Every structure is written in structure tokens, then in C-alpha cells.
Structure 1
Amino acid sequence: MRTVTSVMIDEPAPAVPARAGDRRGLVVVLLAGLLAAVLAGHRAVPNVHGFGSLLDSVSPLLGLAVPALALGALLRRSRRALLAVVLPAVVWALAHGGAWLPPAGSGPTGIRVASQNLRAGNPDPAATVAPLARSGADLIALQEVDDGDRLGLRQRYPHRAAVSTVALWSRYPITDSAGVDTGLGWTRGLRAVVATPHGELVVYAVHLGSARAGDTATRDETVRALARAVRADRAERLVVLGDLNTATTDRVFTPLTRLLGDAHAEAGQGFGFTWPSAVPVTRPDHVLYRGLTPTAAGVVRTPRTDHRAVTAGFRW
């Protein structure tokens, strides 16, 4: 009887196709790389029809995409995608994370200032400015003022300078004031000299041109006009208060940041968004300065308006 020996022949296992999850992970990797590139190089994007300017202004908000991408990577169980998300997170932290560190400003405050866009047609502007008066501000700059007599500020702020729809209310004497041409065709800015107990202070109260989707030319020209006025001003101590209709991250803002410090960036915390008041996503309202040291800066939510107010304190 013949014995038959069976021989087992190993055959290569069939190739296992790549899991769909890996391909989805690749999408997250690509999106993370794109986000990191935009965060790092948004100012290199051409400013066609104001798109680059808009991208600059919202760049702090782009960080919200990081947790969304991280969640996508976790749902797809892709380690590669999760590691890729670290890159835009680091780029965002380097660019904007410092805003959340404890403010550097400290020490005694010699003068307090505030700025508020009242909103044209505000039915109760006195209610809007009341929190600023209670805050102890020595100077209050207002934009979109319809009737200064309705504000109820005269008792606490006996000195006022006004032109068109902008005004400055002061606890201290205003020794001189004049309109400032910002290229709008009508005056929407003023320069005032305030005699404070610490010395003379020049204050600009301004409302620059509006910016709309695809149309920022007027706003851009008013920023440059204000920068020219400040550059030509020989005052040792100077403060700019107002609605400048752009954020400090906007490339268009550069002519001003070359000349002035930003009180919120140096003595505030967080992004300090002011518009729209209910859920602010950008900061068009500013306190800029030179010749002083900021000690505090903040944002105040006020009623009856679409802007939150900005405040700052300084010492000589």
C-alpha cells in the first residue's frame, strides 16, 4: 500500500486594501497643512478687493479650526492626522497665544480713557455711556454722536470738544481743538489738547472710513491719512481713541503701528474683540498711544449699541 504524503504549499496572502479611514486621515493632514500655511503667511495673500485685509483681520479666529481638525482626526482614528494638527496649533500659539498671557501693564494709573461708538440712531445714548462714566474714565471719546446734550455727561465731564459726529468729553480743561481731515470729504476726527494734572496731553478722537466686503479703499486711505497726521504731530504725549474700522492684525493698520503703541496689546488680555457687541469677532475700536506707559486696558459691554467700548489707563 503506497503512502501518499501531502505537501502544504504556502501561498501569499491576498493584499489587504488600504482602509478608507487612512484616506480620510490624509484629508485632515492636507487641511492641517493648509491651515498652518494660512496662519503663517496670511499677509502674503494678495489684497485683491480687500480679501487679504479681511483674512488678516480674522486670522485670530482661524485657530477655531484646530480643535475641529483634531476631532476629525480622532473620529477617523488616524495618528498621522492627529500629529499633523499639532503644526497649525503651534503656529497659532506663536502668532496669537501671547494675547492670553497675564498683561504686562502695572503700576499707578495717572489717567484713564475710553472710546465708544454709540451707533447712529441710538434711542438711549445716555444709557450707553453711563457705564463708562461710572468706570472713572477721565476722557471719553465718542463716535456716531447725534446730540451731545442727550448724553448726561456734562456734570462729570464739564469740558467737551466736538466736530461732526465725533466728540471728546473731559474732566480736565480742553485748551485747544480742531478738526482732522482723514480724507472722507467731511470731517470725522478731531485733535484736542487736554490740560491734565500731569501735563499736556494731545488726544485724537476719530472715526475712520467704513470697510465693506470687496470695498476697503476708503477705509485704507483714512488709515493712511490719520498716520500722516500723527507723524506730523510734534506732541510728546499723544493718544488716539476711536473706531478705526480695522484690526491691528490687518496689514492696512501697519502705518499706525509703526508710529504708536497699542494699549490693549501691552496692558490687556485676550483679543479684546468689540464688534458686533452681542458676539464680537473683531476689534475695530482702539486706544493707541505714544509717550506714555499703559497700566491697564479692557473692554466694556455697553447697552443700546453694536460696539463694545474700549478702555485704558496710563501713567506718565
Structure 2
Amino acid sequence: MTQTLSPAQTSDDRKTGVAAWHARIRRAVHAASRPESWKRGLVLAALALLLGLTMLLHAWIPNRGLGNLGSLVESLLPWFGVFVPLLLAAALWRRSASATAALLLPVVAWVYLFGGLLGDRSQSGGDLTVAEQNVYAENTDPAGTARDLAAHGADVLALVALTPEATPLYVQALASRYPFHTVQGTVGLWSRFPLSDTRPIDVVDYGPLGATKPSDAKLAVNRALRTTVTTDRGPLTVYVAHLGSVRVLPAKGFWTESRNLGAQALGRALAADPSPRVLLLGDLNGTLDDRALAGLTTQLHSAQDAAGDGFGFTWPAAFPMVRIDQIMVRGIRPESSRVLAANGSDHRPVTAALSW
């Protein structure tokens, strides 16, 4: 038998609930006003302040002598916000007014740094759609990955981490959609529009041995290219890059030397390029908060930051935690940017609509 509550009973229940919340708030305020509540949890308060200062002053954390600790912190910076609810739960359990108040600093710091990335910043329209993916050297179904990418309908598609065995499969699967393409070593570009003036860009990739690139060294396998795409709206200079990997090693900490050297080389190439409209597509093996990529971020703007939806994490594909696959522009405007679903690679693809 179902009992129907009268409007009067419903109103009484609501008043009772509101009164209960008011009582809880009064008890919390009363507890916080006690001197002992400010003396409890001083360690938690110190941790909260340290968390906030770390986020605000991350650029002051040194790399040299600390295993690139500064770059490691900057790579994971958005995730520092996870510690706020953990510390808040501990502060409430300890009934510590000092720890609760100290948490205002990390909250303000996180909102200041990343609040602008919350929500959808995209606009409709665009003159050109582009996409990029690290297709994973050990991909077991490269043809399937290629078909999935072609179905999204990008006008220009960049692929990195190509292997000699898989490249012909990508070429065959993408041929009907893209009549023009170039592959330079392990990076390639497929386009609906003609390509010209294509050449490799010399970026370094030594394993985690920390070797320094000799001044006259040449790459055994190329990992970056530059080309011109002749679009309906005019020429567009496109760079495709796959910077060196990073590793966390017991003896070296956060090892980034190969990636850093590649970023510097790519930054010099971009600085010397007089093209008015430039597009960079690639796996940079670093987030744009990492100071090591400053040579790129000072010259180009992120499509995801300008016109994305959320943080745009791309790796690992199963549970993305960092955005290391980038679409960056100069002289053109991103209208929208998004991360696509996993399709067989360990990276998720990214796409953006751009306007002249």
C-alpha cells in the first residue's frame, strides 16, 4: 500500500531537513570558534599550505640537481588538486579549523591555474579540420586505426610512431580519403590538399643514456617534418613532430634530455620560419605546463587550451592522465578542439577545427 504525503507533510519534512542543516552549521561554527580547534591538525595545515605554494610557485622548483623535479611537478600539476579533498576529509576528521582554513590557498591556486580549462570553450565553424595521433609502434591493428581516423573526416591528418612494417598499411587504408601524403622516417602527414616544400626537421632521440648530440650528427630515423599544405584559403605551414621519450629512472630521476634537445631544435626551426600561418601537430612527450617546452609555447598557442572541452588528456589511452599530444597554431584561430575515443593505440587522437 502506497502512502501519499499531503503538501503540509512535505513542507514539514523540508523544514525539518533545513533545520537539521542549520543545526549542523551552527555546531561546526561553534566548534571552530573554540581555541583548541585551531591548535589541532597543525601538520595538516602545513601540508595544505605546502600544496598551495607548490602549485603557485612551481616555476621556482629547480630541475638541476634534483632529477628534473620541476618538470615532473609541472607535468602532473593539474592532479595536485586531488590532494585537496583528501586533506579536507582529514581536517574535518580532526576537527581542525586551522587545516580547513589553510586549504583555501590550494583551492585558490588550482582555480587560478586551471579554472579556465573547465567547461566547453569550443565554437562552431572552421575552415580546416586537422587531427593527430601517436599510432603506437606496437599497434596490432594499424589498418583499423587508420580507418577509424579517416572516418572522422579531418582535412589534414598527422601520424607519429610509424614503423616500416605498418606504414604501407596506413598508406593503403588512407589512400581513398587523402590523395596526398608524405612520410619522413617515423612521422607522416596525409592531406586532402597538395603538399610541397617537404623536408625533415632534425630533432634528437637517444635512449635514456643521457648522451649529448654531436654538432655534426645526423638522425638515423627522422622524427619531425615540415611541409606546406596548399589549402582553399591559402598556404599553411605544417610541422609534424614526435619528440624523444621521457623516463623516470632510479639514477637520473625524471630523465628528459632527449625530449628537451628535440624541443629546442624544433623551437629554433619555428623561430626561423617566416610563414604567417603555422600549425604544429605531434606527440611532444610533455605537457604545455612543462618549462622545457617554453621554446614552443612562447611561439604557438594550444588549440585545446583555446577551444577545447576540459583538460584534453590523451595518454594513456585506457585512462588518460596527461596531455602530451598537441595541436598548436600561429596565425590561425582554433574554433574547437577535442580528444577522440581510443582506437587501438596507447594514445588517444586529437582533432581541431581552425579558421583563418
TM-score w.r.t. length of structure 1: 0.90
Measured in 2, the distance between the counterparts of 1:283 and 1:129 equals: 21
Q: Secondary structure at the match of 1:136?
A: coil
Alignment-derived partner of residue 273 in structure 1? 313
Alignment-derived partner of residue 149 in structure 1? 168
Measured in 2, the distance between the counterparts of 1:242 and 1:36 equals: 32
After superposition, what is the alpha-carbon deviation per residue over 1:250-278, rounded to whole angstroms, capped at 9, x for unaligned?
A: 01111111111111110112111111111
Matched, 1:88 2:106: yes
Matched, 1:120 2:137: yes
Alignment-derived partner of residue 84 in structure 2? 66
Alignment-derived partner of residue 162 in structure 1? 183
After superposition, what is the alpha-carbon deviation per residue over 1:30-63, rounded to whole angstroms, capped at 9, x for unaligned?
A: 1100101101011101113222111111011100
After superposition, what is the alpha-carbon deviation per residue over 1:111-158, rounded to whole angstroms, capped at 9, x for unaligned?
A: 011110011121101222333212221111001112322121110011
Q: Secondary structure at the match of 1:49?
A: coil
Alignment-derived partner of residue 259 in structure 1? 299
Alignment-derived partner of residue 207 in structure 1? 242
After superposition, what is the alpha-carbon deviation per residue over 1:59-100, rounded to whole angstroms, capped at 9, x for unaligned?
A: 111001011111111111222221211211111101111101
Letter in 1 for 2:46: L
Alignment-derived partner of residue 15 in structure 1? none
Matched, 1:221 2:239: no
- Is the deviation greater in 194-203 or in 72-81? 72-81
Q: Secondary structure at the match of 1:122?
A: coil
Alignment-derived partner of residue 298 in structure 1? 338
CA contact (8 A) 2:134 2:159 kept: yes
Q: Secondary structure at the match of 2:70?
A: helix
Matched, 1:31 2:47: yes
Q: Unpaired segments of 5 or more residues in structure 2?
A: 1-34, 206-217
CA contact (8 A) 2:158 2:187 kept: yes
Measured in 2, the distance between the counterparts of 1:44 and 1:129 equals: 43
| Aligned counterpart in structure 2 of residue 50 of structure 1, from 57, 61, 68 | 68
CA contact (8 A) 1:129 1:302 kept: no
Alignment-derived partner of residue 329 in structure 2? 289
- How far residue 27 of structure 1 moved from its aligned partner, in angstroms, is 1.7
Alignment-derived partner of residue 11 in structure 1? none
Matched, 1:191 2:245: no
Measured in 2, the distance between the counterparts of 1:237 and 1:91 equals: 34
Q: Secondary structure at the match of 1:279?
A: coil
Alignment-derived partner of residue 108 in structure 1? 125
Measured in 2, the distance between the counterparts of 1:24 and 1:188 equals: 56
Q: Secondary structure at the match of 2:311?
A: coil
- How far residue 172 of structure 1 moved from its aligned partner, in angstroms, is 1.1
Letter in 2 for 1:164: G
CA RMSD, Structure 1 to Structure 2 (Å) = 1.6
- How far residue 22 of structure 1 moved from its aligned partner, in angstroms, is 6.3
Structure 1 ranges of 4+ moved more than 6 A: none
Q: Unpaired segments of 5 or more residues in structure 1?
A: 1-17
Measured in 2, the distance between the counterparts of 1:140 and 1:302 equals: 16
CA contact (8 A) 2:40 2:95 kept: no
After superposition, what is the alpha-carbon deviation per residue over 1:212-253, rounded to whole angstroms, capped at 9, x for unaligned?
A: 123211111110100000111111111000001110000111
- How far residue 107 of structure 1 moved from its aligned partner, in angstroms, is 4.5
After superposition, what is the alpha-carbon deviation per residue over 1:277-315, rounded to whole angstroms, capped at 9, x for unaligned?
A: 111111111001111011000111222211111111101
Letter in 2 for 1:56: E
CA contact (8 A) 1:115 1:140 kept: yes
Letter in 2 for 1:77: R
Measured in 1, the distance between the counterparts of 2:88 and 2:297 equals: 35
Alignment-derived partner of residue 198 in structure 2? 177
Report the structure number with the largest CA radius of gyration: 1
Letter in 1 for 2:87: L
Measured in 2, the distance between the counterparts of 1:202 and 1:82 equals: 52
What percent of counterpart residues are identical?
41
After superposition, what is the alpha-carbon deviation per residue over 1:185-224, rounded to whole angstroms, capped at 9, x for unaligned?
A: 4221111111111111111111011111232111111101
CA contact (8 A) 2:40 2:97 kept: no
TM-score w.r.t. length of structure 2: 0.80
| Aligned counterpart in structure 2 of residue 233 of structure 1, from 254, 263, 273 | 273
Measured in 2, the distance between the counterparts of 1:96 and 1:314 equals: 23
